[in-house]
Chains A and B, each alone.
Chain A
Amino acid sequence: MDIDVRLGLTPTDLELRQIQVHRPAEWVDLNPEDHAEFRVVQEKFASEIITSRLFRGERTIVVKKERIVEIATLLRDHPDTNYNYLSDLTAIDHLDHLEDGEARYEIVYNMYSMATFNRFRLKARVDEDDPSIDTVEGVWASAGWNEREVYDLFGITFNNHSDLRRILMPDDWIGNPLRKDYPIGGEEVEFTHNVRGR
């Protein structure tokens, strides 16, 4: 109830909001006055933003995947944001709680600024029918291996990537282990008696 009061929302409003955007009450929209990252992206790429949120003091913007490289470059180079360090890049498979019309995968860019010591999260939705997104290798060189890992474990391809190969799993592996429809423990343990030709 506290959260409702803080936001100045009546329970009906809150219900409506939850139905509209499918998210819990703890999440708050980012606003352009307090959050420079949101302002910077909104000024140039307003039509690309799907949603934004503030949760436990962490800022997240979810964008469409088409202009991800431009948005990442902007966040890196703009003096107000200056996210010159990519802490981590990963993906989420939303299969278990997918809403109608929502894209299945989400690429997560956890970035960091060495100038302001701030963290910021950019996410891009990637559809199941076309699991591909442009590489951000050109923005942060460190993304190279992280993207290979996502390609390996989620089966999402990165366009224009310089060296897109499997990285953790063997080259001849079938399937992408971190997808939610990939079973755990489904792999038979290899012994001499059940592996032919050895």
Chain B
Amino acid sequence: MATLEKDLKVQQIAAQLGSGVDLERVETDNGDELMIVNMGPQHPSTHGVLRLVVELDGENVMKATPHIGYLHTGLEKTMENLTYYKALVITDREDYLSNLMNNLAYSMAVEKLMDIEVPPRAQRLRVILNELERIASHLLWLGTHALDIGAMTLFFYTWRERDQILDMKEQLSGVRMMTSWICPGGLRGDSPDGWFYKVNRFVSEFPAHLDEYRRLVTKNPIWIERLTGIAMMSKDDCLAWGVSGPTLRAAGVAWDVRKANPYSGYDQFEFDIPTGSKGDVYDRFLVRMEEMNQSYRILVQALKDVPGGPVMTSDRKVAPPPRAELDTSMESLIHHFKLFTEGYRPPIGEVYAAVESARGEKGYYIYSDGGNKPYRVKIKGPSFNNLQALPKMIEGLMLADVVAAIGSIDIVLGDIDR
């Protein structure tokens, strides 16, 4: 091809890709030409709507530029225009695979702002729900990650178990995903009859399922060869790029918010933080597999002697009074009316509360100006930072490995674009 034609070709490709793409035709040292390939935003292996513009020299990735924002719905702006209680439902919808963890992070921030104590039964149920959610999220990750790489079977097994967890959430709240069950002050309600039986049965069966997955992939030579040594990232790089969660732990940093800054009574339970050594895709896989096992350990401990009592704080500033009281007490009626019309007003101040979500440190920063709506809410999404580090991980890889790398950092685009 003559140079002019090549130029034209590159310009055509660039025009199709849209703005933000380097229009220049780049020549490598040996005179080869780089090809620009656009992955996504509708590509199935991009786990949502991630668009990745990759510059290729043959099969090798020279440079990758993620383009995000396709799922940006202005959740933070929306929350700033809702009362504290109503803003809770938005938290379910950002990282849509760890809804209860988002609920918890937001609730913890509001509780800190209002200085509210949460009753022990609610704390325990929060731990149980969070660990179930972590298992559900990791199961979804395991299934889709395997699917990306070409191992179809695992998907059906993990989906089977994940569905049981969704059933539990449904029995609890009537909703399978966006439950908003954890709310400032405690929980929306107590567990229904037979719920614990269901949870206990699932937990007792889970180790056998975990073993099943292990038998399918962990020692599978194809699986190992496909994942070892890919998309490595060192400890220091991970910290500098703000990577958190299993991706950080796979690089050898034993940092877990549940251990480092315990919340909701996580310090009462015995569990370990699995860490990797090389920080490659296989390490991340192993870390997440072991995390499911640790979640199981926490669940076993947490399900023993669940404390009794209420699941909502008795502080009438945030907790609606029981229905029966409304008929007899004028004050309760006023509280009820005020709560559901104008909401509560935390003092002027700012707080940051973080939990360990399935993807890393999920934080809520709230600035209150004394009004009934949060003046500023910032959602710290772990996927945002993890994705930012992706171009660094995949430089020099083959294009086919990029899919494995994207799967290994377990991004959720709702968490990134918010």
Across the interface, do A88 and B78 meet the contact criterion of CB distance under 8 Å? no
**Closest residue of A by beta carbon distance from B386:** A142
Please name all residues of chain A whose beta carbon is closer than 8 Å to the beta carbon of B253 when the two chains form the complex. Answer: 114
Please name all residues of chain A whose beta carbon is closer than 8 Å to the beta carbon of B69 when the two chains form the complex. Answer: 166-170
Cβ of B222 within 8 Å of any chain A Cβ, yes or no, is no
Q: Which residues of chain B have a CB within 8 Å of any CB of chain A?
A: 19-20, 68-69, 72, 74, 76-78, 81, 112-113, 115, 239-243, 253, 255, 260-261, 347-352, 354, 361, 363, 365, 367, 369-370, 375-376, 378, 380, 384-385, 388-389, 417-418
Please name all residues of chain A whose beta carbon is closer than 8 Å to the beta carbon of B255 when the two chains form the complex. Answer: 114
Please name all residues of chain A whose beta carbon is closer than 8 Å to the beta carbon of B380 when the two chains form the complex. Answer: 87-88, 110
> How would residues 56 to 83 of chain A score, 1 for a CB under 8 Å from any chain B CB and 0 otherwise?
1010100000000000000000000000
> How would residues 90 to 131 of chain A score, 1 for a CB under 8 Å from any chain B CB and 0 otherwise?
101100110000000000101000100101010000000000
Candidates B78, B113, B350; contact of A184 at CB < 8 Å: B78
Q: Which residues of chain A have a CB within 8 Å of any CB of chain B?
A: 23-24, 26-27, 55-56, 58, 60, 84-88, 90, 92-93, 96-97, 108, 110, 114, 117, 119, 121, 140-142, 144-146, 165-172, 177-178, 184
Cα separation A65 to B12 with both chains bound (whole Å): 44
Across the interface, do A23 and B348 meet the contact criterion of CB distance under 8 Å? yes
Given the interface pairs A58-B351, A87-B380, A110-B365, the reply to whether A92 lies near B375 with Cβ below 8 Å is yes
The number of A-B residue pairs with CB atoms under 8 Å apart is 101
Candidates B72, B242, B378, B389; contact of A86 at CB < 8 Å: B242
Candidates B72, B261, B350, B378; contact of A169 at CB < 8 Å: B72
Candidates A58, A85, A88, A140; contact of B350 at CB < 8 Å: A58
**Closest residue of B by beta carbon distance from A142:** B242
Cα separation A121 to B380 with both chains bound (whole Å): 14
Please name all residues of chain A whose beta carbon is closer than 8 Å to the beta carbon of B367 when the two chains form the complex. Answer: 92
Cα separation A174 to B302 with both chains bound (whole Å): 51
Across the interface, do B347 and A24 meet the contact criterion of CB distance under 8 Å? yes
How far, in Å, is B348 (CB) from chain A's closest CB? 5
Across the interface, do A58 and B348 meet the contact criterion of CB distance under 8 Å? no
How far, in Å, is B384 (CB) from chain A's closest CB? 7
Please name all residues of chain B whose beta carbon is closer than 8 Å to the beta carbon of A145 when the two chains form the complex. Answer: 384-385, 388
